[in-house]
Chain A
Amino acid sequence: MAHDDNSGAELAAAASSDHGPENNVSTGTAVVANDAVENPGFPPHRQRVTDLNPKKERTAERTVYTLFYLSIIGSVWAIAAYMLFPIEPENLLSVRLNNLFIGVGVALALLGIGIGAVHWAKALMADHETIDERHPVRGTDETRARAVEIFETANEESGFGRRTLIRNSLLGALVAFPLPAVVLFRGLAPEGQDPVALLNETAWEAGTRLARDPSGVPIKASDVTLGSAFHVIPEGLSEMDHMLEEKAKAIVLLMRLKPEDLNEREDRKGWSYDGIVAYSKVCTHVGCPVALYEQQTHHLLCPCHQSQFDVTNHCAVIFGPAARPLPQLPIAVDDEGYLIAQSDFQEAVGPSFWERH
């Protein structure tokens, strides 16, 4: 048995004389006790039932090959299931069955191999642990000396350390050569556009009608009953180029409160219409749609990080990580009774950015 090569005393002596494979290395703050308990060496080997009982051994053998045969059955079953359970168009159940039966077959095929192999290793393969010696990770002193010598020779033969002009100019060239590649990445975004200008404007213009999201049907002031909330887009959004980009900035929430519930600032008195107010739906935190309106409290809640905005107070932040109120869209009513925007938003909507002020 391999274990018998190492007696306990030998091991213990080795362990206490020097802890690691290297000699004479600082032990730091470790307290190396000189009367530490000795390593008792390997405990006596215990045989498995399959070593002792030939019947058990045969059972184990049978289990292993049965598992491998089951695996074959699983593979065959998976192929059969591929044909037996085709996907019928517009039939969700067929998709589910296809997924289930192919999957179960594949799983059986894989688990059969896996469990069989592990069982084979554990119950039948030779059960004696073996021992490898460790050597320090560092190279031997000769190897290291030779490596140093090679570098020195290379330095000598090339003059890398001596010819400083050559060396430094090479280093400079190596630093400079990847820079053009970095510059090329400017092409990732279209040229001739200024992101800051784009972030400061949306599709809303004076006179744009407020329309329902997603149908695009314009909204009359009379449709907006007390306590209701509408998801709003500018009319004609679906015909715009860059529809999604425009929509990402232009979405608005429209709510009607009792006019006396609104705490309106002097300069914004004219921005609402008979208790109807419109606010950007893009969260000022990192830009999720602020989709949840709590009718009783007049709070808007952003589902992403739970920022809450108080609609009665110009959507000031009352909780959560957002810092700024939701921008308000000034609205009015046209002669046909439809709600329209008085202008674009007066500030950039959505998440903060560096150049925003």
Chain B
Amino acid sequence: MSTATASQASASTAKKSGGFTGKAANYLDERTSISGAVKEFGRKVFPDHWSFLLGEVALFSFVVILLTGSFLTFFFQASMAEVHYDGSYVPLKGVEMSIAMASTLDISFDIRGGLLVRQMHHWAALLFVASIGLHMLRVFFTGAFRKPRELNWVIGFVLFILAMAEGFTGYSLPDDVLSGNGLRIIDGIIKGIPLVGTWISFLLFGGEFPGTAIVGRLYTLHILLLPAILVLFLALHLVFVIVHKHTQYAGPGRTEKNVVGFPILPVYAAKAGGFFFIVFGVIALIASFFTINPIWNYGPYDPSPVSAGTQPDWYIGFADGALRLVPPHWEFVLFDRTWSFNILAPLIIIGIFIVLVLIYPFIEAWITGDKREHHILDRPRNAPTRTAIGAAGVTFYAAMWAAASSDLIATHFHLTMEGVIHALQAMLILGPFVAYFITKRVCLALQKKDREIALHGFESGRIVRLPGGEFIEVHEPLDEYERWRLVSFESHAPVILRPNAEGKITNKARLRSALSRWFFEDRIAPATKKELESGHDGH
């Protein structure tokens, strides 16, 4: 009896809440409890800022990569068996090439829209890596990696590396001259690894280079293994974004305890959903106008030809450039074995660089000892040492990256190859220090100016003459909302080295205090209430 009433009641509510949609929603909810999810997430707030779009570009271009990539798998054949090309592209007719290359040519020249999808896939991949890189820079320079987001920084960085691996494996699939040459370089690098290199290369290529196995193997990595890991880490990354709630920039009304922005339904969904289509559309537009990776100009892989000015895709450039910057003769024979430091040195340096980037959040957390959660982003100037370290890192990366185009730089600017390499070697070593120093000074100067403006207002451009005959420029005071943006940050003081409970000073403490001094000894504190009231900064 009671069940009957209950079901009647629920039926009537469903009817009341309107026709088909209501019924469908009721049907779904009774089977999935989805109303709970809508209640929980439907009005979740996302703050708005252009720099938050970089991560979205990465996410959306990945979706485009998945869609276009799936289309390509229906036509691409990852086989290195040799055939005589018999497709529409006349200059290569009758040329012997692998099926991988031939099927890529068929996608480009014999399937309507195939070239478009192929080019969209490649452009989207370039955009994917680029946007992850920029997103990481945004996160770094605003301190968004601080507690509780340190692990998400690590996950994001792994995604960056996976994206590059996806890019490289994809680049190698068509089996054209450039991709084969890229693999040749990888083979050479692997062989330079002590102890295991020769065998790793032998196993990877299924025998001697180039063999007939590598394209098929890379294909498995490219469409199965790497994407699976990537999707997993991406999902984790997004789950953490939900768990932590998004960071926000400082602003009036915003605190560490709230998130201010637009709710998912409807505004954020419309904006982000719309933005997905914009990213997708822009990629389509680029792909319809600009050729990328015209393998038909390069021809099938042959170990013999290579032309001057060949370039890897830009995101691999830093590694290629690192190889170029090694001075001659960094290889020697010891214990009857070859030690190729011309290969090991770049590998080790890049390895250290990667590890430092990966663990930076933990280093900074250890130095500051700050155990609070941080949800308000720093303005880069308000963390001068961090910003300077970031600038140094970017310079280091840029030197390696530029080196990958050393030959183009030399011919374009009519310089000698040697001169360009030597300049870039100097930039690799000295550049980071210069960048560090300049950035830090600029940050401090900007902070001083902020403080000045907060205390005395901004220059209005209006000159008045005082009764005494003196000319001054009138300073307009800021309103409290503008001022809040300038004063709402925290500064850190260096730790003072003190003996611990046993009266000892440990080396760890010594190191921490030294690092802390390095980080925070130049410090500009935000203007306080008292200073504002008295209208000057007390000096």
Q: How far is the CA of A281 from the CA of B288 in the complex (A)?
A: 39
Q: Which residues of B contact A129 (CB under 8 A)?
A: 45, 260-262
Q: How far is the CA of A103 from the CA of B123 in the complex (A)?
A: 13
Q: Mark A318-357, 1 if CB is under 8 A from B, else 0.
A: 1111111000000000000000000000000011111111
Shortest CB-to-CB span from A34 to chain B, Å, is: 9
Shortest CB-to-CB span from A344 to chain B, Å, is: 16
B375 at the interface (CB under 8 A from A): yes
Inter-chain CB contacts under 8 Å: number = 411
Mostly, the B contact residues are: mixed
| Nearest-neighbor residue (CB-CB) of A3 within chain B | B253
| Nearest-neighbor residue (CB-CB) of A281 within chain B | B304
A148 at the interface (CB under 8 A from B): no
Contact B281 A110 (CB under 8 A): yes
Contact B203 A185 (CB under 8 A): yes
A133 at the interface (CB under 8 A from B): yes
Q: Which residues of A contact B284 (CB under 8 A)?
A: 103, 106-107, 110
Contact A117 B262 (CB under 8 A): no
B393 at the interface (CB under 8 A from A): no
Shortest CB-to-CB span from B249 to chain A, Å, is: 13
Contact B277 A193 (CB under 8 A): no
Q: Which residues of B contact A351 (CB under 8 A)?
A: 187-188, 191-192, 340
Q: Which residues of B contact A39 (CB under 8 A)?
A: 252-255, 484, 488
In the complex, which of the residues A30, A40, A115, A308 contacts B484, with contact meaning CB atoms closer than 8 Å? A40
Contact B202 A189 (CB under 8 A): yes
Q: Which residues of A contact B90 (CB under 8 A)?
A: 90
Q: Which residues of A contact B325 (CB under 8 A)?
A: 321
Q: Which residues of B contact A80 (CB under 8 A)?
A: none
Q: How far is the CA of A22 from the CA of B148 in the complex (A)?
A: 12
Q: Mark A1-45, 1 if CB is under 8 A from B, else 0.
A: 001001010010011000111100111111111011111111100
Q: How far is the CA of A32 from the CA of B43 in the complex (A)?
A: 34
Contact B252 A42 (CB under 8 A): yes
Contact A36 B407 (CB under 8 A): no
Contact A318 B328 (CB under 8 A): yes
B342 at the interface (CB under 8 A from A): yes
Shortest CB-to-CB span from A206 to chain B, Å, is: 22
Q: How far is the CA of A312 from the CA of B119 in the complex (A)?
A: 46
**On chain B, which size bracket covers the interface?**
35 or more
Q: How far is the CA of A103 from the CA of B43 in the complex (A)?
A: 36
- Across the A-B interface, give the 6 residue pairs with the lowest CB-CB distance, nearest first: A103-B288, A286-B188, A117-B274, A114-B277, A28-B369, A110-B281
Interface residue ranges, B against A (CB under 8 Å): 43-45, 88-90, 108-113, 115-116, 119, 148, 181, 184-185, 187-189, 191-199, 201-211, 213, 217, 243-245, 252-263, 266-267, 270-271, 273-282, 284-285, 287-289, 301-310, 320, 323-333, 336-338, 340, 342-343, 367-375, 406-407, 417-418, 421, 480-481, 483-484, 487-488, 490-495, 516, 520, 525-530, 532
Contacts A21-B373, A306-B417 known; 18 new A-B pairs at CB < 8 A? A14-B257, A28-B370, A29-B520, A31-B492, A33-B525, A36-B528, A40-B253, A98-B115, A103-B116, A106-B281, A107-B284, A131-B259, A132-B259, A137-B148, A137-B373, A286-B343, A303-B308, A306-B324
Interface residue ranges, A against B (CB under 8 Å): 3, 6, 8, 11, 14-15, 19-22, 25-33, 35-43, 82, 86-87, 89-92, 95, 98-104, 106-122, 125-126, 129-134, 136-137, 185-186, 188-190, 193, 195-196, 198-199, 213-214, 231, 233, 242, 244-245, 247-249, 251, 281-283, 285-289, 291-292, 301, 303-308, 317-324, 350-357
